[in-house]
């Protein structure tokens, strides 16, 4: 047998102390900040999911779990901004030859691949097993070609969606780590249980050798607790095989190293997928034939482009129909050096911004005009901007790039400046009275920026 990875006791599996700390100190202070910050909370609101947000944070992941061939980093969802938006976020780093074990979650999600390339498999019950992998060289007596469900290539700039309860796995067949950020929409109607993020692993031992990890992604695999005989019966195998499935003493965690190349890869294989997909005409409407991914990084397909400003690409339910089902969409923003994005609010969605490159300044205001965020942001940080809150972004010297996950498959923004500005939508005289300005001043306000939403740095100054 060619495949020889065994339990690797040298795999470094450690938990950044911060995580435990957070877990330990929260209970005792549980009531305190709540009471301090809402001293005049009316009675009824204690029954409610209540979000009197005073301060947002641009945060790096708060918890990390190292596995044999990668790292899983979690933004712990007990922070107010995640709770209020009903979302959770995870960053995966999969090293070359790393395999993120098959798992499903209790909420639909979208993933953005910030770097690397690999292959991903998705398993939808009832979809045809139309893929055939080449036969392993060491297959001994098993003479049949391997059949399985759809696999597809994923690479930098791809947006990949997934319904709740649908299992996926990812393998890094490239030379560099795959880094991706996943946004889970816990408050989506497809998740019927609660706002806790749950990963269900079909294999391995996600928590590895650790006692604790971020509860969202650690634990045993789903077979672990079942009776050996019952499982042996269900699979018609011996109990030794069943014990292997349970991965009891597997120390590799949820991203494992595959010792030789997975032989599912063939060079022409991405085209084949396209072709096969087209053949499944009768199932056009089902998950079996829907595409799960689309690239959002192609400048030529930008929705908005301004010469010295930057560009915006979006992928919504019309471009990737799976997102219609998931009720999610994604915006990719690139601001050039010192450029700025129009102040705007999100009409019908929360926007969860992940900074992919560069630095910049972001300000966010709530309904009473108070800023709830005013800070410099940088690569690797994530910021939740609640629905209807007003946001401004300005790049610094190196520019600013981000991906925004939006909790609506047709997310709309309302710009406050530029060509589609809400200010332009109003008659001069309404603005003159409202702002106590002259007509000239109002006209400058309406027409001072002719760009759509990505504004180049000002040449003249006041």
In the complex with a second copy, the residue whose CB is nearer, 317 or 343, is 343
Nearer to a second copy, 324 or 387 (CB): 387
The least distance separating a second copy from the CB of residue 62, rounded to whole angstroms, comes to 11
Structure tokens at 208: 């590895």
CA dihedral 9, 13, 17, 21 (to 10 degrees): -100
CB nearer to a second copy: pick between 181 and 203: 203
Of 393, 402, 389, 269, the closest CA to residue 339 belongs to: 393
Strand partners, 455: 340
Output 210 or 295, the one with its CB closest to a second copy: 210
Answer whether 334's CB lies under 8 Å from 310's CB.
yes
Instruction: Using alpha carbons, select from 116, 91, 102 the residue that is nearest to residue 170.
Output: 102
Cα–chain-centroid distance for residue 430? Answer: 42
How far apart are CB 415 and a second copy at their closest, in Å? 6
By beta-carbon proximity to a second copy, the closer residue of 197 and 402 is 197
Residues in the chain: 462
Cβ proximity to a second copy: between 102 and 208 the closer is 102
Rg of the chain in Å (alpha carbons): 25
What is residue 400's three-state secondary structure?
A: strand
The tokens describing 182, both together, are: 């996943």
User: Which C-beta is closer to a second copy: that of 181 or that of 352?
Assistant: 352
Work out how close the CB of 269 gets to a second copy at its nearest, in angstroms, rounded to a whole number: 12
Q: How far is the CB of 398 from a second copy (least distance, A)?
A: 18
Nearer to a second copy, 59 or 295 (CB): 59
- Compute the distance between CA of residue 69 and CA of residue 255 in angstroms, rounded to an integer: 5
Q: How far apart are CA 9 and CA 13, in angstroms?
A: 10
CB of 114 or CB of 289, closer to a second copy: 289
Closest approach of Cβ 211 to a second copy, in Å? 13
Q: How far is the CB of 294 from a second copy (least distance, A)?
A: 22
Q: Which is nearer to a second copy, 157 or 418 (CB)?
A: 418
Q: What is the DSSP letter of 212?
A: -
| Residues 231 and 257: beta-carbon distance below 8 Å | no
Q: Which residues pair with 437 in a beta bridge?
A: none
Residues 81 and 258: their CA atoms lie apart, in Å, by 38
User: Cα–Cα distances in Å, from 332 out to 66, 96, 234, 292, 351?
Assistant: 29, 26, 46, 18, 12
Nearest approach, Cβ of residue 179 and a second copy (Å): 21
The residues with which 305 forms a beta bridge, in sequence order, are 311
Integer Cα distance of 126 and 128 in angstroms:
6
Q: Are 366 and 310 in contact (CB under 8 A)?
A: no
CB of 92 to a second copy, least distance (A): 16
CB of 388 to a second copy, least distance (A): 5
Closer residue to a second copy (CB): 175 or 460: 460
Residue 181 Cβ, how far from a second copy at the closest point, in Å? Answer: 21
Minimum Å gap between C-beta 44 and a second copy is 4
CB atoms near residue 307 (< 10 Å): 10
* Shorter beta-carbon distance to a second copy: residue 7 or 155: 7
**Sign of the Cα pseudo-torsion (439, 442, 447, 452, in order):** negative
* H/E element, 356: strand 351-365
Cβ atoms of 350 and 188 closer than 8 Å: no
Output the smallest distance, CB 278 to a second copy, in A. 21
Phi and psi, residue 423, nearest 5°: -65, -40
Distance between CA atoms of 406 and 346, rounded to whole angstroms?
9
Query: Distance between CA atoms of 66 and 14, rounded to whole angstroms?
Result: 6
């Amino acid at each position: 047998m060619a495949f020889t990875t065994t339990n690797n006791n040298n795999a470094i599996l450690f938990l950044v102390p911060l995580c435990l700390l957070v877990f330990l100190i929260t209970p005792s202070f549980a009531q305190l900040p709540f009471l301090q910050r809402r001293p005049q909370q009316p009675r009824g609101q204690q029954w409610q999911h209540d979000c009197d947000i005073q301060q947002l944070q641009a945060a790096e992941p708060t918890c990390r779990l190292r596995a044999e061939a990668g790292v899983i980093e979690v933004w712990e969802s007990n922070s107010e901004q995640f709770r209020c938006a009903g979302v959770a976020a995870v960053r995966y780093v999969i090293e070359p030859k790393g395999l993120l074990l098959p798992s499903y979650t209790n909420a639909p999600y979208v993933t953005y691949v910030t770097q690397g390339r690999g292959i991903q498999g998705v398993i939808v019950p009832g979809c045809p097993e139309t893929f055939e992998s080449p036969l392993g060289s060491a297959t001994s007596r098993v003479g049949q070609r391997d059949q399985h469900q759809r696999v597809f290539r994923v690479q930098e700039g791809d947006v990949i969606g997934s319904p709740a309860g649908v299992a996926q796995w990812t393998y890094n067949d490239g030379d560099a780590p795959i880094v991706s950020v996943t946004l889970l929409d816990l408050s989506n109607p497809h998740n019927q249980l609660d706002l806790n993020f749950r990963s269900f692993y079909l294999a391995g031992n996600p928590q590895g050798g650790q006692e604790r990890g971020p509860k969202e992604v650690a634990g045993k695999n789903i077979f672990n607790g079942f009776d050996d005989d019952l499982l042996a019966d269900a699979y018609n195998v011996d109990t030794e095989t069943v014990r292997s499935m349970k991965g009891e003493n597997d120390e590799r965690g949820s991203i494992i190293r595959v010792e030789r190349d997975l032989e599912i890869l063939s060079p022409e294989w991405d085209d084949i997928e396209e072709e096969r997909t087209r053949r499944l005409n009768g199932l056009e409407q089902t998950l079996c034939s829907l595409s799960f991914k689309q690239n959002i990084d192609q400048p030529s397909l930008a929705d908005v482009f301004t010469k010295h400003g930057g560009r915006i690409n979006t992928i919504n339910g019309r471009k990737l129909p799976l997102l219609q089902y998931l009720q999610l969409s994604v915006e990719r923003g690139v601001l050039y050096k010192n450029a700025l994005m129009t102040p705007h609010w999100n009409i019908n969605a929360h926007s969860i911004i992940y900074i992919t490159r560069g630095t910049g300044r972001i300000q966010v205001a709530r309904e009473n005009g108070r800023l709830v965020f005013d800070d410099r942001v940088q690569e690797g940080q994530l910021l939740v901007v609640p629905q209807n809150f007003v946001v401004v972004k300005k790049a610094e010297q190196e520019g600013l790039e981000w991906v925004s996950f939006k909790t609506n498959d047709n997310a709309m923004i309302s710009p406050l400046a530029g060509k589609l500005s809400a200010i332009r939508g109003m008659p001069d005289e309404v603005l003159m009275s409202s702002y106590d300005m002259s007509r000239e001043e109002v006209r400058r306000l309406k027409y001072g920026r002719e760009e759509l939403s990505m504004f180049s740095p000002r040449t003249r100054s006041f």
